[in-house]
Structures are given as structure tokens and as C-alpha cells.
Structure 1
Amino acid sequence: LERLVWLVNGSPTVYDAIFPEVIDHIERNAENDREYRYVLADHARCLAFMLGDGIVPSNSGAGYLARLLIRRALRFMDKSGYRDTLFSIVAKHISLLEQDFPELAGARDRIDEILEIETGKFRAAVEKGRAMVKRHMKKEGKITAEKLIEFYDSHGIHPEIVKEIAGVEVPANFESMVADRHLKAQKKEKREEMPSYDVSTVPLYYEKDYASEFDAEIVIADGTTVILDQTLFYPEGGGERTDTGVLVQNGVTAQVKEAKKAGNAILHVLDRKLKKGKVHGTIDWERRYAMMRHHTATHIINAAARTVLGDHVWQAGSELDEHEARLDITHYKRINEEETERIEKVANEVVARAIPVEKTFMPREEAEARFGFRLYQGGAPKSSELRVVNIEGVDTEACGGMHVDNTAEIGFIKITGLERLQDGVERIRFCAGERALEYMQRQERLLRDVAAVLGAQPENVVKAAEKLVREWKSARKEVEHLQKNMGAGAVAYEGVKIITSDNLLPSAIKELTREKAVVISGSVKNERAILTIASSPDLPIDCSEIAREVGKMMDGGGGKKTIAQAGGSPERLAEAKEKAIELVKAEITRRMKK
């Protein structure tokens, strides 16, 4: 259609026909070269849709492509002397598209923030990159094609910057070489090849998800691995750990250490051999129920994060067992404390609403038509039939894991930690139910213990800690002052002050070795002795050599010319110190005679 509009319009290019306002905007704000106006306009339009659809710039997958486009656009802006921000061009597109794509208007602020953050990262990468390339050239004298790709792919240093600094030739197929590198990286490691069995195991855990005991028959016994005709043991998958429990046969009990899928069969790995025939199975219900709570809580946390942080949030991975769960989500910056509290609050509001958790098998086409592609938070399964887990009005996902029947069963969700897994991916750690209560009780015990040590009530712990830190800092300054004045009592040898006080602080050692001085200071920490030898830069003494020699009496030693250490048993410290003093004096005498 766009080409048809171009043909009818008679414009110089398709860009002039489709978004002339954007081209005009770029031309008015570019100081010199107009050569890049079309590619800038095209990249900005693409970014409006990519970022509007929730793609978060990163170093992998679709996020890598978004970052690639952003940085390419920024380079073209620099070349053309464009005076405004990249978002100013993207915003122009949004204003032209928002009538047909209203979701872009809703994402405007988020897109602006993402582009501001990415611009800052690009500028920092360029500055860091220039220094990195110069260091490499100084050391190696050349830059290979592979190194050129590494600079670009791992550090964000564009080959044109490298060419400007080092004068290297950029391969004509450079971008293809980068793409090939990514394709190789995306090739998954070969999975463990599972034996093929011409049998099927009926998964009872879906229709009887609250049952803990069952009867079955061992149809294949292969060492300590057996296959049952039906089972309640959930095999590990979708980030959820395997069920464990026991199988009993004729009074013999075998522990089920692991259940895993092999085609249509489910393998049960035991701690002892069992024979073909009837068995009675019991799963570890406490473990299973804790994981059911954690799995449903994972879906709720995902939905809560999307509510608080924005529609760009997608699940990037998850893992759970009976103790805790973790959810990896796409997000363009660190999650702060206020956002964490809001996510937790929203999640627990869902728990308190006691919403039924529907678990239904349905045809793929029907599920997609009803719920859309948000179904595939954990990835798109290949089967034509999906098991859909639906928490009405909160979250709907295609999921084969074990879940509770109602959100109220979770009891309580507590976020226990956050970390940045990689650029563009945040990890949320949490626990639910009894595990959440146990976590809170541990935190309360810790608070009471700290309060007891500080001699304060729990509610006054922060004030008491602040007072203690102030007093400690004041005392440390006083100690530093006293230690720095110890030089007055030093032993003079050939015009050099030799200070042998123990337990000196690093700052005091530095102050004492400013001029014509040597410090030999011992200390003992965690049942290990450390002997520090330091000298002022104006003395022709190599402390590392002395530390290595003294280290022969201990467990070794070494360091720099002006400061070094030897470490070992506290029993040898006094002897090692005397040896160090002797070596220092000998070194001073030898050097002075020269």
C-alpha cells in the first residue's frame, strides 16, 4: 500500500510520500549533511513500533536488534548534526500514527525514558570504547576482523570509531559476520539424549492434582529407572522442579529421586531396583503443594510487575522449588524499592481476592483467539492443544505446571530480593505461603538479635546503628591520628625511619611512608597472621622481594615495590617480623653504599 501511495503521489521517495512531516522535521533540525534523513526517519518509525510493542533493548534476541537500531540512528544523528533528541523524531511518528495505533500514545513516556537511557549508554560506550581501542593498539599493534566484531558486539564500539582511531579496514560483510556470530551463539547445546521407549505414561497429576497416592504398574524396569503405566509424579519442566516421593512394591520401599519425560513416557529414577508389576506410589505432598503455591504466585508476580512497571514486561525465565521461586522479566532499568513494594502489594491484593485458577486444555487456535499472544509468557509450545492457566482478569498463560485452585490458597507472597540478571532483564526472588511466613520470622529474629546487640528496642535499631557508626568513625579518626604520629618514635637507621608498630590501619601506613620511612606492621585476623612491609617511594627498596623472602618462613608473600605482605601462622609472626627488619636494614645499607 505504501508503494502504491508513493506511485500515486509522485514523491521523490516512498519516505516523502508516507511521512513527509518527519522528513521535514529532520531537515529543519539537521545542521549539515541531509544524506541520512531517510534512514533516520525509517529507524525512528521502526523504533516506535518495537518499543511500543514492549521490546526492551538488551544484548540478545529482539532486544539486541532494538539496541542496534537505536545506536545506528544516534550515529547518523551525529553525522548529520541533528540538534534534538532521537525521541523527538520517534514522537513525530507517534503523533502521526496514534489515531490508528492508540497503544503508541500510551507508551510515549516509556519510549522517551528508554531512549534517554539508551542514549546515555551509547555515549558512555563510545568514550570507553575509544580508550579501549587505544589500549589494544598500544599492546597488540593491530586489530583483526574478529577483534573488530568483539569490540562492536561485546562493547558497543562501532567499527567506524575503531577505523577513525586505528585506521583499520572494515570488512564489506561486517554486519553479516556479526549476524553469523549471533546465530552460532543461539544454537542450543545438545540436550541429554533420552532413551526411546515404545510406551506411554498417563499423567494423573492434571486430573487429580490434589491427590497424593495412587496405584500403578511398572511396565519397564531398567536398572534403577522405571516407567509406570500411570503416575502422579510431575516430571521437571517449565521451570518447576520434579516431584519426589516413594514407590512401594511387596513391602519394599524405593525413594523416587526424580521424574522426567522421555517422549510419551515418564521415567522415575529410584534409589534402588524394583521389578515389573504393581506398585503403590506416594508423592511428597508438602513439597508438591509448596511448589503449586509458588507456581501460581509466579503468574501473579508477573501480572503485578506488568501492572506496576508497564505492558513491556514479559517473562524471560522462571524457576521454582518448594523453598522459593524466581521470575526473570524484561525491563529497561533497575526496579527500585518503591516499585518492589507496589508489585508485592498488587500481588497480595490478587491473593486476597480469592480468584479461581482455571486449568483447561483447549485447541491452540481457540486459545489464541480468546486470550491473544500474551499466552506465551513462558515461550510458545509446539503442540496443537494447549493447557491454559487462567486467573480471570489477572493473568492467562499457556502452562503445563502444577497450580492451586484458588489464589487464596497461596496465603501471602513476599519478595525477598532483586538482581539484574543481564542488561534488560531483572530477576525477582520471592516465596509464598508457609515459606513466606518462615522468611518473615527469620527477618524478625534477625532484627531482634541486632536490637539486643545494640541495646535498643527493634523500632529504634536504625537510630542506634547510626549512632554506633558515628562513634566508630570518630574513634577510627582518633586512632588514625595517633598512629600517624607514631613516626616520632621510630628507629632511625642510615637516615631512614623504621616504624615497627603492629595493627596499623592502611591509611596510617600510607601517611607514615610519605618520605624516608619504612613500616613493618603485623596483625592477626581470623587466626591468620599478616605482615605488611611498606616503604616511601623515595627509597630504593623493593618490598615485594623482602615479602617473598620473609614468606619462606610463613605461607608465602609478595606484592608491589612500595608495599607487600607475607601471611601465615600467628606463631611465626614475631620471628618473621624480626627477619623483615633485618632484611630492610641490610637492603638500606646495600643501597646506600652504592
Structure 2
Amino acid sequence: GMGLERMSAIMQGKSSFFDSDVMQGLIGLGEEISGVSYVSDDYEGQSRSLRIIADHARSVDFLISDGVLPGNEGRGYVLRRLLRRAVFHGRLIGIEGAFLGRFIDKVNELMGDAYPELLKNVALVKGIVDAEEERFSGTLDTGRVYLDEALGGLADGAVLDGATAFKLHDTFGFPIDLTVEIAEGAGHAVDIDGFNREMEAQRERARANVKGDAWGSFNDVWTELSDSVSATEFAGYEDEELEGAKVLALVVDGERVAHAGAGQKVEVVLDRTPFYAEMGGQMGDAGTLSAEGVRLTVGDTKAHNGLYAHSAVVEEGELAEGAIVNAAVDHHRRALLRRNHTATHLLDAALKNVLGDHVNQAGSLVAPEHLRFDFTHFEPLSSEQLVQIERLVNDQIFAAKPVVTRVMAIDEAKAAGAVALFGEKYGDVVRVVSVGAEEHPFSRELCGGTHAANTAEIGLFKIVSESSTGSNVRRIEAVTSEGAIAYLEERARMLDAAASELKCRPDEVAGRITGLQKELRETSQKLKNALTGGGSNAIDDAIAHAEDLGAYKLVVAQLEGLEAADLRNVWDTIRQKLHEPVACVLATVTSKGQPALLAGATDEAVAAGFKSGDIIKQIAPLVGGGGGGRPQMAQAGGKDASGIPAALEAARAALSA
């Protein structure tokens, strides 16, 4: 058990690794940020939290630097749990706002010389940490309110039920280990067996939903055919038409048949074909199969265990197993697919160029009309980055570079810098597609799909959208050639229509909209000021009737015609008008007929004993709701607006006692 950490502690004459120089440097940073003091034998309090933050921050930095990204499975899940536990313990010792980025800097300072890998992607590591920390902070706030309410309703020593723990996990994304930790701190155990039963029930529901789809497309007939029929030979890289292909099998409604007649839908297996089967994100080819007196229209092509299934409709005649047919791919559709596939390679290279080498493909769709590309990245792309990426791709298109394809050994391909998809399995011999004939082309990838012969065929590349598909995975959708022209024509039509409505020239639309937005903001602000500012008689009246509690003044009021969010503006107005220690309990009925409560207090009022979160928790049940928040401010919603007077009176009585 003599690992590096124990060895370093012994070499430094320490009894614990947490007392060694590296960890004390990180713990010292925690003391500085939080304002709490570290006592090494405090194993259940603040010192424990400082140790956890220091240890987890170090682990997070090393994991991300080693290529691990936060996720919901495997090592990505471990990373996310470490990161979230560090954030939680930061909250426990009073750290508000983002702080882990400072720990990453400290880890790099202390360990970067010994581990230079930490210094290679500092921006990536901090970007991912910041994004995850911000996301989890929202989760923590929302889930904590729900958990506090659940724990507040339990008798002393009672067990928190598994269903509630599962709802926290499933609905709010609240980790079960944090639920256990918070519950134990409040004197309650968690029904882990009940939680596990709920988890298993969810998995069973997921399996039931997926089972039909997963096995429906991979019917037993294909397993049987793969044992008796030779794999289809793909002959479509160079030729889009092939004569003399033999029908090896016909499948109708999941059953092998000997014949298929006019009007029937059939999957046709050929010994060789020019049709590309859907794989690697590229959609399958369409076209026709024909023989004397027989004609089929192929709508799609899929692969099953090496067998290419041409999904077709018999338009005329009858097709029999063993027949010889001519196979012709829809040339126009194939051309669009080829252009979009080559464009995805250009996009991948451009993303790496602009964002960094951490970008990896996380999925793609190459369709005739458009392309979709998923990639690993930790934050939304700016408009400037999107313009830069688009320009890089179009530069390669306008340069009319040849698309060169070579078949070579996998080791030779990797040595040449070919990009391989993470997690993809490759054989000993691979197909390498390069954009450009130079020694170091703009793009070089392992790929089995069909491609344009020259980038000029793509015509034009236009990004349509950029969005998130999950944690640290972004998606770009784009169009090329005919799709790009259609997209720009539609946008021009929409611009002309907007200019017509605004009665201006197309080049004046942006300025006119900016002016209208400014007018709208000014009008909205005037309305808000009239409602919640100095001209509001209701607020002035509430302030005039404020109760003097000695250490602070207390304003309790029900205000009409406001939304829940407006109560914050009222609280701001009260503070600005009084210029002295003050607290408030406010209520309104929203436009939807629902009650909303807010409690707020200046720091002096909080010091004198006013706790907004406690007040809201006490009175919210009187309006049929719940809520919470910080001592300085807390809010709640409810279902029964008739309970507002009782809630305000209860607050006044509790605070005046």
C-alpha cells in the first residue's frame, strides 16, 4: 500500500498526506477563499470539507487534462461526481459563486513542473470546470430547496424515503451521495434500498421502450441469413451503376421469401452493389433495381452483419431469389450526400483549428439536404467563432482542392496523422480520405464513406445552427451546394418581408429593430417604475406603516397587480427609500391567480435575527406552497391565494414576538 502519496508524506515527516506541501498549498487556498480555519483533527466539520475540495480539485484537473470529460457513465461519471462534491463542500463552508477555477490554477502552479500535461490545455480544463460548476450550482439550489422541505417534514430520526431521493436524482439531477450527506447532517438516514428499486424500475421502463426498436431493425432473419449468405461486396466508390448483380435473398415483413410481386415492400440482398449502406453517419443510397419486365424503386440501403439490404418497392413485374438485376444509384442524391460528407470532414478540421485539439467527433448525420455534426466542447460558440469556422471551410471549397483517397495499413495511416473516431474499431487495412494532395493536408481522416472528388463540388458551406445536445457536447447543423442556396434564398425572402413590414430598405432592418427594442425597453421601464418605483402609493403606504422593531424596520404588505419577479423590484425600492436597516415580507397574486411570497432583509436585519428562508418556510404552507432561500432573501409560490392575509399576519406575529 505504499503509494506515491504515502511516500511523500513520510519523506516530509508528516503523518498524513493532507499535511504534505502540495495538499497544504491547496488547503491554504481553501482557507483564503472561504475564511474558515483548517484544523487537521476536525474530521467531520470544516476541515473535512477543505480536504475534500483540495483532493477533488486536484483529481478533476488531472482527469480532464488526461482527456476525460464529465458525463453520465464510466469515468466521465466519476469526474462529474468529484467535481460536484467539491462544489457542495464549498457551499458547506460558505463559499458562494464559482471557485474551482482558482484551485485549478493552484494545482498547475504546484504540480505543473512535474506533470507538464497539466499546462497543455489549461483553457480547456478551466472552461469545462466553470461550465460544470455553473450548471451544478443551479441544480444544487433547486434540489436543496426540495430536499430541505422533505427533511423539514420528517420526525426526528426518521428515514427519508427512496422515492423522494430518486425524484431528486431523476428530476433535479441531484446526486444520491449528496442527498445522503445532507440528510445525515440533518440527522436522517436515506432509504437506499428504496432508491435502488426506483432506479431499477426506471431502467426496466427504458429497456421496454428500447427493446422493440433495438431488435425490430435487427430481426432474427438477418442472423440466419448471415450464416448462409456471403457478405455483400460494395462496388460503389467509383461506379454508380452495376450490371449483373445476383439476388441472394428477399425479405418481406421480417421473413425470407422466394418471390416479391408488384406493390410489395421488400428488402433485397445482392452479392455486390453500388449502393452505399447507411453507416458512419452517412445515409444509405436510393435508386433502382431492374431486370427484363421487373422494376424496383430503392428508398434506402442498410447493412446487417455485412449484408446490404436494399429497401425497395416492386413497381412492376415479380422479382425472384437468384435473379440477375441491374443496380443504379440515384446520381443526384448521391452527389448531395458526397458533398455533405466531405463538408463534415472540413468542418471537423476547422473546429479543431479554431477551438483546439480537444474537439472530437461525437456523432454525425450526412443527409442529402443537410449535415449535422456533434463534437466535444465545453461552452457555446461565439458568433465570431462560427464566422471563422465557416470561412475556413469555404476557403477550402473555393481553393478547389482534390479529395484524395488511399487504402493503407492502420499504423501507416496513424503515422500520417489521419484522424480516427474515438471508440471506433478499425481493421488492419483502412481507407484514408485527405482534403488536399499536400503532405500535411487541411483534413485527413479514416473513413469508409463516399466523398466529392474535389472540394469545389461542395459549392458553398453555410452554418444553420449551433446548439447543445448534452453536457460538453455541441451540435452544428449546416447546408451545402443546393441546400445552401435554398437556405440563403429563404433568408433573403424573410428579410424582404421584414423590410416591407417595417417600411424600410432591407439594409435598414437591423437598425430599425434596434430602435424598436429601445422604445420597448423604455416603455417597459416606465411601466415598471410606475408600478414599483417612487410613484407607487401602495409601496409608500407600506413603508409609512413599517413597524419599528428596534434593530430594524419591518415592512409587511400585500401588493396588487404584480408578478412574482416584480416583488424583487419592490424590495429594491424599499431599501433605496429607507436607507436604514430594514426587512420585509411581501405578497401578491399573479396574473395566473397564484400567490407569491418574498422575504428580504438587509445585512443588519439578518444580524439581528431576521432569516428570510426561515420566515418563508414558516408561512408558505398557509398559501398551499413551499419555498426557501438565503437569509438575505427567499421566495415561495403556492396554490391558495386566499391564505395570503393569514400568511402575512403569521409573519408579523412571529417577528414582533
In structure 1, the partner of 2:349 is 303
Q: Mean Cα displacement is larger for which, 414-423 or 447-456?
A: 447-456
Q: Mean Cα displacement is larger for which, 71-80 or 114-123?
A: 71-80
Query: Is the Cα contact below 8 Å between 2:277 and 2:301 reproduced in 1?
Result: yes
For the structure 1 residues 358 and 144, does the alpha-carbon distance in structure 2 shift closer, same or farther, using more than 3 Å as the test?
Answer: farther
Q: Distance in 2 between matches of 1:117 and 1:475?
A: 35
Query: Is the Cα contact below 8 Å between 2:162 and 2:196 reproduced in 1?
Result: no
Query: Is the Cα contact below 8 Å between 1:212 and 1:285 reproduced in 2?
Result: no
Work out whether 1:57 is the aligned partner of 2:74: no
Q: CA deviation at 1:229?
A: 1.7
Q: Give CA-to-partner distance per residue, 1:340-374, whole Å, 9 cap, x none.
A: 212212222233344443333334444445437x5
Q: CA deviation at 1:177?
A: 9.6
In structure 2, the partner of 1:10 is 10
Letter in structure 1 aligned against 2:160? I
Q: CA deviation at 1:325?
A: 0.9
Kindly report which structure 2 residues correspond to 1:141-156, keeping only aligned pairs within 5 A, or say none. 143-145=160-162, 147-152=164-169, 154-156=172-174
Match of 1:345 among 385, 391, 398: 391
Q: CA deviation at 1:238?
A: 1.6
For the structure 1 residues 136 and 369, does the alpha-carbon distance in structure 2 shift closer, same or farther, using more than 3 Å as the test?
Answer: farther
Work out whether 1:434 is the aligned partner of 2:482: yes
Match of 2:79 among 60, 66, 72: 66
Kindly report which structure 2 residues correspond to 1:513-552, keeping only aligned pairs within 5 A, or say none. none
Letter in structure 2 aligned against 1:303? A
Q: Give CA-to-partner distance per residue, 1:48-73, whole Å, 9 cap, x none.
A: 23222444434455443322111122
In structure 1, the partner of 2:270 is 228
Match of 1:253 among 295, 300, 317: 295
Q: CA deviation at 1:302?
A: 2.0
Q: CA deviation at 1:429?
A: 0.7
Work out whether 1:450 is the aligned partner of 2:498: yes
Q: Distance in 2 between matches of 1:109 and 1:73?
A: 20
TM-score relative to the length of structure 2: 0.63
Work out whether 1:24 is the aligned partner of 2:44: no
For the structure 1 residues 161 and 123, does the alpha-carbon distance in structure 2 shift closer, same or farther, using more than 3 Å as the test?
Answer: farther
For the structure 1 residues 175 and 108, does the alpha-carbon distance in structure 2 shift closer, same or farther, using more than 3 Å as the test?
Answer: farther
For the structure 1 residues 114 and 414, does the alpha-carbon distance in structure 2 shift closer, same or farther, using more than 3 Å as the test?
Answer: same
Q: Give CA-to-partner distance per residue, 1:265-314, whole Å, 9 cap, x none.
A: 21212201422322112111111111111111112212222222232222
Q: Give CA-to-partner distance per residue, 1:384-427, whole Å, 9 cap, x none.
A: 44333334443333322222233333222100112222232221
Query: Is the Cα contact below 8 Å between 2:408 and 2:429 reproduced in 1?
Result: yes
In structure 2, the partner of 1:205 is 236
Letter in structure 2 aligned against 1:128? T
Letter in structure 2 aligned against 1:204? A
Q: CA deviation at 1:246?
A: 0.5
In structure 2, the partner of 1:577 is none
Q: Distance in 2 between matches of 1:8 and 1:536?
A: 61
**What SS does structure 2 have at the residue aligned with 1:65?**
helix
Letter in structure 2 aligned against 1:47? V
In structure 1, the partner of 2:218 is 193
Q: Mean Cα displacement is larger for which, 415-424 or 465-474?
A: 465-474
Q: CA deviation at 1:214?
A: 4.4
In structure 1, the partner of 2:284 is 242
Q: CA deviation at 1:252?
A: 2.5
TM-score relative to the length of structure 1: 0.69
Letter in structure 1 aligned against 2:479? C
Q: CA deviation at 1:259?
A: 1.4
Q: Distance in 1 between matches of 2:231 and 2:411?
A: 26
Q: CA deviation at 1:256?
A: 0.9
Identity %: 26
For the structure 1 residues 457 and 213, does the alpha-carbon distance in structure 2 shift closer, same or farther, using more than 3 Å as the test?
Answer: farther
Kindly report which structure 2 residues correspond to 1:34-433, keeping only aligned pairs within 5 A, or say none. 34=40, 36=48, 40-60=53-73, 62-77=75-90, 85-99=99-113, 102-136=116-150, 143-145=160-162, 147-152=164-169, 154-157=172-175, 158-160=178-180, 162-163=182-183, 167-170=187-190, 189=211, 190-191=214-215, 192-194=217-219, 195=222, 196-197=224-225, 198-206=229-237, 208=238, 211-212=240-241, 214-221=243-250, 222=257, 223=260, 224-272=266-314, 273-275=318-320, 276-371=322-417, 374-377=419-422, 379-381=423-425, 383-391=427-435, 392-433=440-481
Query: Is the Cα contact below 8 Å between 1:11 and 1:17 reproduced in 2?
Result: no
Q: Distance in 2 between matches of 1:454 and 1:340?
A: 29
Unmatched tracts of structure 1, length 5 or more: 480-508, 512-532, 538-559, 563-594
In structure 1, the partner of 2:627 is none
Letter in structure 2 aligned against 1:107? N
Q: CA deviation at 1:166?
A: 6.2
Q: CA deviation at 1:218?
A: 1.9
In structure 1, the partner of 2:609 is none
Q: Distance in 2 between matches of 1:350 and 1:313?
A: 20
For the structure 1 residues 412 and 457, does the alpha-carbon distance in structure 2 shift closer, same or farther, using more than 3 Å as the test?
Answer: same
For the structure 1 residues 8 and 183, does the alpha-carbon distance in structure 2 shift closer, same or farther, using more than 3 Å as the test?
Answer: farther
Letter in structure 2 aligned against 1:130? R
Letter in structure 2 aligned against 1:199? S
Query: Is the Cα contact below 8 Å between 1:2 and 1:14 reproduced in 2?
Result: no
For the structure 1 residues 375 and 20, does the alpha-carbon distance in structure 2 shift closer, same or farther, using more than 3 Å as the test?
Answer: farther
Q: Give CA-to-partner distance per residue, 1:210-233, whole Å, 9 cap, x none.
A: 534544222333442222121011
Q: Distance in 2 between matches of 1:335 and 1:451?
A: 29
Q: Distance in 1 between matches of 2:408 and 2:91?
A: 53
For the structure 1 residues 55 and 82, does the alpha-carbon distance in structure 2 shift closer, same or farther, using more than 3 Å as the test?
Answer: same
For the structure 1 residues 428 and 456, does the alpha-carbon distance in structure 2 shift closer, same or farther, using more than 3 Å as the test?
Answer: same
**What SS does structure 2 have at the residue aligned with 1:67?**
helix
Q: Give CA-to-partner distance per residue, 1:157-192, whole Å, 9 cap, x none.
A: 522454058643146899999999999899885443
For the structure 1 residues 238 and 184, does the alpha-carbon distance in structure 2 shift closer, same or farther, using more than 3 Å as the test?
Answer: farther
Letter in structure 2 aligned against 1:23? M
Letter in structure 2 aligned against 1:216? A
Kindly report which structure 2 residues correspond to 1:496-511, keeping only aligned pairs within 5 A, or say none. none
Q: Distance in 1 between matches of 2:430 and 2:19?
A: 42
Q: Distance in 1 between matches of 2:117 and 2:369?
A: 39
Q: Distance in 2 between matches of 1:162 and 1:144?
A: 14
Unmatched tracts of structure 2, length 5 or more: 32-36, 251-256, 261-265, 528-559, 563-590, 596-638, 642-657
Query: Is the Cα contact below 8 Å between 2:283 and 2:367 reproduced in 1?
Result: yes
Q: Give CA-to-partner distance per residue, 1:243-266, whole Å, 9 cap, x none.
A: 000111104321012212122321
